[in-house]
Amino acid sequence: MSSSLKLGFLASKNGSSFRAIVGAIRDGRLPAEPRLVVSNNRKSGALEFAAAVGVPHLWLPTERDPAAADLALRDAMTSAGVELIVLSGYLRKLGPATLSRYRNRVINIHPGRLPEFGGEGMYGRRVHEAVIAAGVRVSGATIHLVDEEYDRGPVLAQRDLPLDPGETVDSLEARITALEPLFFVETLLAVATGRLQLP
């Protein structure tokens, strides 16, 4: 991994972490280059933002032919010189070609503690509903490597968030959403500076 991270991004919607990471790069807080952002949603806010700030971007539909889309994604990231792929609210499972090419080089942020509140179907608001229902005192966010199974890859970093008295799904969702982008930037900085080693 070079000292200046060559990043690719996958986003299905707004791409809030993608936006925060690009902002940190532009401010000089993160030694990295945004090489490419790909979305499976033609109307995603992430693609609009990428166009506005001059980051190369690509719409790549996945539903009609997932295998072809997997190969196209792998090739697009490789051609762009991407070394590390960041998932920023990407709502599709990655295929074998991309995962093989980028083994231990795809990272995701999960809006809860893993492994307790992860797995298939556990994303977004569903995580916060499960946390509240479980009656635990601490939630948080987890940054992990991506493999073939949902939320199973090795954990790289975890940020705890104690629940407030009377915490609701809405309040927890808002608080976790607010902490995620900076947490992602800080974790990538740790990777870029060698303080956090990828396998």
Active site positions, annotated: 110
Compute the distance between CA of residue 124 and CA of residue 121 in angstroms, rounded to an integer: 9
List the one residue out of 197, 176, 20 whose CA is nearest residue 105. 197
- Please work out, in degrees rounded to the nearest 5, the angle formed at the alpha carbon of residue 187 by the alpha carbons of 17 and 99: 75
Q: How far is it, in rounded angstroms, from Cα 109 to Cα 96?
A: 20
Residue with token string 């709502």: 91
Tell me the pairing of strands 84-87 and 32-39.
unpaired
